[in-house]
Amino acid sequence: MLGNLIQQTVNALTIGSIYALIALGYTMVYGVLRMINFAHGEMFMLGAYVAFLVLSMLVGDVGMAGAIALTVAFVVAVFLVGFIGVGIERVAYKPLRNSTRLAPMLSSLGVSLSLVTGMQILAGPQPVAFPSFFPVVRYEVLGGTITSMQIGILVAAFVLMLSLHFLVNRSRIGIIVRAVSESRPTAQLLGINVNGAISMVFFVGPLLGAAGGILYASYYGIMSPTMGAVIGLKAFTAAILGGIGSIPGAMLGAFILAFVEVGGTALLPVITHGVLGTEYRDVLTFAILILVLLVRPAGILGEAVSEESIVYKREF
Amino acid sequence: MSVAESLAAARPRSSRAVAFLVFAIAIALIAATPFLPNYYIRVIDSLLIYILLGIGLNIVIGYTGLLDLGFVAFYAVGAYSYALLASPQLDLHLPFLLILLVAACLGAITGILLGIPVLRLRGDYLAIVTLGFGEIVRIIINNLDWLTGGPKGIARLDKASILGIQIARPVDFFWLLLVVVLLAGLVAWRLERSILGKAWAAIREDQDAARGIGINTTNAKLAAFATSATIGSIAGAIFGASQRFVSPESFTLQESVLIVLMIVVGGIGNILGIVAGAAILILLPEVLREFAEWRILFLGLLMIFLIIVRPAGIVPRSFGPDKLIGRLFGK
């Protein structure tokens, strides 16, 4: 029982930290541009594919040793995807910055569609086995099994989130990004480089998403061009749950979502005596999301501004 | 320069010629359809179903200004109404028209049920809750094996017939859909110009001001949701009858997104725009079928391009069917 509890907790923490990495990208973009970036799930997918490509080049052509090649591939891939993210913002979202609220969101849907099919054309639509980024060793802890992979993912995700925390709260770049997210016109009046801040967000978000993608692909040992869709939706749910626009909220939401999912999978059939099986896990996820939004539309840690006080930009 | 601007700039005579041309092409297309091979008629049928869905969703998005990303749920309600009431699944074989009525009522009820909780939300949050609702409906259908057949869906649906006339061939569905689309278009168009439509427009422009001048925003929004859901559900029932097979695969989030895109690419709030958007997003992939995946890539890039170049859609909101008809008969 205790062992099972520990094991499920670690499972939830692992998947939750991957969700958190992706949710951060959604929430940062929303914070700065008030835009839902539907193409963010594809950054997650790109991360896995780019890392795979870099890794096979390093090992095959350069003949680099395993552990170093893995680290290099990880770093190169996340930075590459970060630059891709900046490029996409320039081409597909920047021209729409003064347009309606809906326009950049729909443009991001176009980006998402293009990236998924582009990858299907380049790499084939079938799933590909992904090499493990960590040597897998099993540890028995009080009767539960924890793998070294899970520990590696937790450490990597924790380091990335901590770096983000310092970047946002302790650095000059972070101050600029927070200022733009607080009020873009005011930031502009104060001489802040708004475009630079937005580019920064579109660099860091995809970077973290790509890291999430690499960790996810190595955790499950598989990647496919469509892998971003479902995880993207989950991470997005997590961002909303925690309060979209809030960075700690995205992390909190991601872990809550992961615990609900893991707990739902384990407990739903037991509580309902088999009426609702584990397949209703996602229903539970969305039901919780809807309930939270109805009670607290701004999410758990979102700013509790009353709706009437916001001057809304026209949606359409 | 947009279509409307160029039309306005041109002399009245040439604008009448354009209107005449549009009508001539439309009538020629309708007249030619029955003589096309079945494959093409099926494509046109699916185009008409999407136009019908577009007309329905446009009431919520274009008229009332609420972003609904779960519209496909109503489509599913309609399709499964037909599948359950006219198949060996529950051994029920009700007549088609009765099922259409049931589907319409169920659609309206679902629309109101969704509407009640989400009315308090705005903008992005509304979009997200409707998205979640759409996914919940799909997941439930996917897992309620004893009723819906789960992922395998329901097959061997009855052939539809109206008053003894069997509707089974693609051509039959073409005529049925044409009538339904014209009716739905007429209803939507008249609704937009009614008092209710003006309340919707007021909500779209400024919800607080709308409430301030005494519009019951709750009821107006509920009416929008219910009307839109009814049309979506009817489209679903016809879809079920024409495919004679339903499965959860037809009701994914992508489908909702496709309908939203159709409306936005074509021109938000404008029925002619929906036709244009549907023509681009549904017909183009069919025309480019031989290019396989490349056509989807092309579609994605075209979507980005169109939204950047014309964020308000190809056909402007002001250029409605009334303008087109007015031009034809010279003011």
User: pLDDT per residue over B300-311, tens digit each?
Assistant: 888 888 888 887
Residue with tokens 């446009």: B58
Average of per-residue pLDDT values in chain B: 83
Question: B249 to chain A nearest CA, in Å?
Answer: 15
Largest CA distance in chain A: 62
Residue with tokens 């924890």: A146
Q: DSSP characters for A46-82?
A: HHHHHHHHHHHHIIIII---HHHHHHHHHHHHHHHHH
Structure confidence at residue A311 as a pLDDT band (50, 70, 90)? very low
Domain segments of chain A as ranges? 2-228
Structure confidence at residue B67 as a pLDDT band (50, 70, 90)? confident
Q: Which pTM does this prediction carry? A: 0.81
Interface touch A106/B122, C-beta < 8 Å: no
Which amino acid is residue B150, in one-letter code?
Answer: G
E strands along chain A, which residues? Answer: 128-129, 138-141, 144-147, 222-223
Instruction: Provide, as residue numbers in chain B, all residues whose Cβ is less than 8 Å from the Cβ of A244.
Output: 124
Range with lowest mean pLDDT among A132-146, B153-167, B197-211:
A132-146
Q: Which helix (H) or strand (E) holds B153?
A: none
- The beta-carbon neighbor of A117 closest among B125, B260, B296 is B296
Question: B276 to chain A nearest CA, in Å?
Answer: 17
Q: DSSP characters for B181-209?
A: HHHHHHHHHHHHHSHHHHHHHHHHH-HHH
Interface touch B297/A114, C-beta < 8 Å: yes
Residue A48, both tokens: 């896995």
- The beta-carbon neighbor of A117 closest among B133, B297, B304 is B297
* Residues 249-308 (B) with a CB less than 8 A from some CB of A: 253, 257, 260-261, 264, 268-269, 293-294, 296-297, 299-304, 307-308
Rounded Cα distance, A285 and A292, in Å: 11
DSSP one-letter code for B86: E
In a mutational test of the B interface, the residue from A265, A291, A293 whose CB has the highest number of chain B CBs within 10 Å is: A293
Average of per-residue pLDDT values in chain A: 83
- The beta-carbon neighbor of B124 closest among A36, A289, A308 is A36
Residue B96, both tokens: 């088609």
**Assign residue B302 a region: left if phi > 0, alpha if psi is -120 to 50, beta otherwise?**
alpha
Rounded Cα distance, A84 and B102, in Å: 50
What are the angstrom distances between the C-alpha of B220 and each of B75, B120, B226? 22, 13, 10
Question: What pLDDT does residue A308 have?
Answer: 37
Rounded Cα distance, B236 and B135, in Å: 17
- Angle (CA) A94-A75-A81 rounded to 5° is 25
DSSP one-letter code for A19: H
Q: Is the dihedral of CA B122, B128, B129, B131 positive or negative?
A: positive
pLDDT digits (tens, 9 = 90+) for A27-79: 888 888 888 888 999 999 999 999 999 888 887 776 666 678 888 888 999 99
Residue B208, both tokens: 């607080």
Q: Is the Cβ–Cβ distance between B90 and B80 less than 8 Å?
A: no
Task: Using the predicted structure, report yes or no on whether residue B326 has a pLDDT greater than 80.
Answer: no
Burial B96-114 (b: 16+ CB within 10 A, else e): beebbebbbebbbebbeeb
pLDDT digits (tens, 9 = 90+) for B252-291: 877 888 888 888 888 888 888 888 888 888 888 777 777 7
ipTM above 0.95, yes or no: no
Q: Domains, chain B, ranges and CATH?
A: 11-328 (1.10.3470)
Task: Please report which residue ranges of chain A form alpha helices under DSSP H.
Answer: 2-33, 40-57, 66-88, 102-123, 148-170, 172-182, 184-189, 194-220, 227-242, 247-271, 281-295
DSSP one-letter code for B297: H
